[in-house]
Amino acid sequence: MNLTIYDTIDSSYINIYSITIVSNRMLQNLACGMPNLQEVEIEVINGLKESKLVAFLKANPQIKKLDTNIIDFTRKIFKTILSLKFLQRWYIRNWSCDVMKINDLPCNYSIKYLKFSGRTPNPLALQIINSCNTLKTLDLRSVHNVMLVNDLWYLEWCKLERNIDILKLNSSRRAYDEIKNIDESKLFNRVYFHYSGKSPIEKLLDEYFSDKLINYKVVSYIPQSLIRKLISKID
C-alpha cells in the first residue's frame, strides 16, 4: 500500500487548527479526537467509508467550519453533520446523493452559514436549510457563470420555514429569472449578487431593479468589489 505524507498525520498532532483530509486513512488516524481542530476540509476521497467519516465527526464535535467536496452522502452522514453542536459554517461542494428526502433529519442550532455549489436535489436541499434553525446566510454558487445548483434555482421559496437574513447569489440568467419569486417571498433581509466580470446580465438586472421590485430596493455597493448590487429589504 502506498502511503502519502498526509496519511501519517494522526491525533498526536494535537495543535492542528485546520486540516484538509484526503483519504480514509486520515479519517481513521484522526478518529481519536483532535481537541484544537476547528476547520476541516474533506477533499475527494475515492471509496469514502461512511463509518470512518462518521467516527471522525463524532470524535471531533468541536469543529466549527466544515467543507465537504464530492462526498457520496448517506442518511447517516447528513444526520451526523447536522448533530454537530458547534458547527457554524458548512460548505457543500459538488456532492452526490441517491437520497432525495430524509424524514427524520435532526434540528441544528449552531450553523449560521450554509453554502451550496453543485447539483442539489430540491426536496433534500429544503430539508437541510429548514433543519438549520439559526441560519443567517444562505449562499448559492455557480462556476464560470453557469449555475450548477439547478434545482435550487427553482427552490420552492414558500416552503422555507423561517426568514433568513442574507441570501447570496451569482449573477446569471437564472438569477434574473428568479428575482421575481425572491421578491415576492420577502424571506430575506438582504440579497447579494456577485458578478464575475462584465456580463450582459448586469444590464438586465439593472433594468429589472429599476422599477419592478416591490419588497426590495437597490442599494449601491463598493464598486471595486465583485459584489455589484445589493438588494435591501424595504422596512
- pLDDT (tens digit per residue) in 180-196: 788 888 899 988 877 65
Q: Check pLDDT > 70 for residue 152.
A: no
Q: Check pLDDT > 80 for residue 30.
A: yes
Identity of the amino acid at 180? K
- pTM of the entire predicted model: 0.86
60/73: higher pLDDT: 60
Fold held by 163-235: Ribosomal Protein S8; Chain: A, domain 1 (3.30.1370)
- Per-domain boundaries in the chain: 163-235
CA nearest neighbour of 85 among 129, 52, 134, 47:
134
